[in-house]
Structure 1
């Protein structure tokens, strides 16, 4: 059977493969940038005038008087140029020749495997960018001629609020921890960012808090427990955050949320995740989560399958509060 790779990896064919594959789940992207907040953006750049804008309630105006101006952004630059994620998988001429023995079902399965390979690499990169965005900035490895550089974008400073008495202090009580959690929520709400707030905790802080809850919950009147969903203290649920990414500049693995940290995030704030227009003629210069182009090579003979995407998370810095909760 003849193989037409352009047909095998057409946008419609890739979309069909993605529908057949099981969904990919990653913690930060699914919690902070869920499907409803993902947008296909038709341009290769993004205006930043909306990025750090937080809208609070506004006063009414007397009939016949001028409208109240919306809060303006403090960003100095006008546009951000998101950088692409391009990943390559080489298919030898031998493999392509052997594929002539496959029927259409076999070719579709081969395509699905290739699509899943590229999707996995791009989704892992999306998750890394999303996790890093919680700091209010991106400082991500960027491949350049001859090595790596840093892809840097600043969205603005996130909020901070640290407890007066840390959670691993022997004098700390459950009532004190509850008061701290209320304080973190208040810090975010006072910034006008949102009201549906989740708490993500680093590994050491989480285990420290879990031990505190187990030892103190039987001694007080505050309902608290540790279960498969996290740590619940009087209705405040603290989830364990274990996400990491590999830093190609330093050859180290970096955690999204530090071991001693807790992040309180208003997930109803206007976080956005953009898929910007792809820099590829075969893709029609259009935005899409994944496109796979082909490039013929002669030595060795084969085809490079290049997976393209241009993902870009836009956090709301004033909806994110970082706290150092243990020493």
Structure 2
């Protein structure tokens, strides 16, 4: 007979919130850079196109999986994105079970807290992958369906590309490209707080150009974990995520730079959890004990949706 331990009192919304607030795991690079200013819950399992279009000017396109939901009838256009959940499960190992039985509530809560924080890390990793993908204007990830795995894709719009026909050969070329990229943002109503993110090879090329410059017309200064070219700050980005095949994909391709207006309304929303145990409420992470089974199994769910402003992003290939 399985061990019967009820963990519900350690998995209330407030407890989970407390565990997350003390978690050693924090938002990663792209999430922190672009999606940390406006993080909120959204009390629905679906997200309206109008909320996205109002800010971005684009109607998002669900390409595959997680079919858009039409709540206005078959004759109307699709109006909502059905955000797909991050599902996590873990069975507690025998050592955990022995500790729970022998040491009481203090030990039990410590184990539960560690598991919830582990789930939280997985959610943060997923958010970072999605946030990284939004820099291209599209998110794409695998979801579990009754038929197996499917690819869930949402296209938020096109990111402008100002790649020069010839790669910058000197600082003047590079600086003029940055000015053009900023001008492109301004054409779209952005450009208030620009920052440039550079892939690995692109940043190496920028350093090579900058350090070979002997003039005084354009300021060059390496500090704050990046380099200033005039008034433009360029930050190297080497982080990324693993795709469905296990390949590492960088948030900013090695040969590219991305100029982004950080003041643009990039948003991160956590939608309502499709589970009665969560009271169908929106929250960053819901964790519950599986009701049946010979072992103790925890289930975690989260429905994050990073929403980019594609008009506030401009790409250029410089290598």
Normalised TM-score (structure 2): 0.87
Q: Show the 5 A alignment for 1:53-68.
A: 53-54=54-55
**2:110 is aligned with 1:109:** yes
Corresponding residue to 1:282 among 277, 282, 290: 277
C-alpha distance in structure 2 between counterparts of 1:161 and 1:325, whole Å: 10
Q: CA deviation at 1:93?
A: 6.0
Structure 2: any 5+ residue segments left out of the alignment? 61-76
**Equivalent position to 2:219, from 213, 216, 223:** 223
Q: Give the equivalent residue in structure 2 for 1:152.
A: 153
Paired residue secondary structure (2:19): helix
What is the match of residue 184 of structure 2? 187
Shift of 1:208: 1.3
Question: Is residue 7 of structure 2 the alignment partner of residue 5 of structure 1?
Answer: yes
| Structure 1 position 103, deviation (Å) | 4.4
> SS at 1:242's partner residue?
coil
Structure showing greater Rg: 1
Q: How does 1:130-209 map to 2 (within 5 A)?
A: 130-145=131-146, 147-167=148-168, 172-209=169-206
Instruction: Tell me the matched-pair count.
Output: 300
The answer to whether 1:304 aligns with 2:297 is yes
Once residues 50 and 294 of structure 1 are traced to their aligned partners in structure 2, the CA distance between those partners, rounded to angstroms, is 34
Q: State the SS of the aligned residue for 1:49.
A: helix
8 Å contact from structure 1 (residues 206, 240) kept in 2: yes
Task: Measure how far apart 1:228 and its partner are.
Answer: 4.7
Alpha-carbon distance in 1 for matches of 2:272, 2:53 = 23
1:318 and 2:311 correspond: yes
Equivalence map 1:38-57=2 (5 Å): 38-54=39-55
How far apart, CA to CA, are the structure 2 residues paired with 1:19 and 1:239? 28
Matches of 1:198 and 1:325, distance apart in 2: 16
SS of equivalent to 1:288: coil
Extract unaligned runs of 5+ from structure 1. Answer: 56-71
TM superposition shift of 1:108: 2.9
- 1:20 matches 2:22: yes
Aligned counterparts of 2:272 and 2:173: Cα–Cα separation in 1: 49
Per-residue deviation at 1:233?
0.7
Structure 2 CA distance for aligned equivalents of residues 86 and 50 of structure 1: 25
Does residue 127 of the first structure (1) align with residue 123 of the second (2)? Answer: no
Instruction: Say which SS state the counterpart of residue 50 (structure 1) adopts.
Output: helix
TM-score, length basis structure 1: 0.85
Residue in 1 that maps onto 2:68: none
Query: How far has the Cα of 1:155 moved from its partner?
Result: 1.0
